[in-house]
Structure 1
Amino acid sequence: MDLTIDGRTVKDEADFHARIREASGVEWYGGSLDALFDLLIAVVDPPITLHLTHAAVTRRIIGERFDRIVTAILDAVAERPDGAITFKLES
């Protein structure tokens, strides 16, 4: 899975998760933090690349929940230390 999100175009948290769903091709993806973690560690085959540009804008749009999304992604990266997940966050 290869996904680049321009943070200036994210409308809300649901939109962020919809982009993950579309990029992964997993229709049943539930759009929650637990579902995001599970998707990244057990559902989508590596390599996985997530690149979020203009993250500061996304943080303003989504609010505190953005921090929890980033934490879920970083937890998945730590769970798969074999380099299966690349996560780039740019402000």
Structure 2
Amino acid sequence: MATTVNLDGNIIDSETLFHTAFRDASGVEWYGGNLDALFDLMVGVVSGPINIVWTNAARSRSTIGERFDRLLTVIFDAIAYRGDGSINLRLES
């Protein structure tokens, strides 16, 4: 079963809200809400496919700051680690 994570930059204005949205979408209540837990969730807990759609991403980037780039780095690392196309990321400004 596919997991879809819809993130709206008009709402997601902190790393905490990002992790809350990810936990809610995944259904994994014990998700730790940090970068290591995000990677583990995407590569070892949720079987996939995982579809991440981040609308108004530029707004999140401006409000979250450099942590936004760290979140994306972890997502890209998970995509590369799985290497099977089961994680999809779409950023929309």
Same fold flag (TM > 0.5) = yes
1:31 paired residue among 28, 33, 58: 33
Please tell me the residue identity of whatever aligns with 2:67: R
Normalising by structure 1, we get a TM-score of 0.95
Give distance in 1, aligned partners of 2:64 and 2:38. Answer: 16
Give distance in 2, aligned partners of 1:8 and 1:21. Answer: 19
Aligned-pair CA distance for 1:90? 1.6
Aligned-pair CA distance for 1:11? 3.3
Aligned-pair CA distance for 1:77? 0.5
**Residue ranges of structure 2 left out of the alignment (5+ in a row):** none
**Residue ranges of structure 1 left out of the alignment (5+ in a row):** none
2:10 paired residue among 8, 11, 16: 8
Identity %, equivalent residues: 54
Q: How many residues are matched?
A: 91
Q: Which residue of 1 aligns with 2:61?
A: 59
Q: CA RMSD in A?
A: 0.8
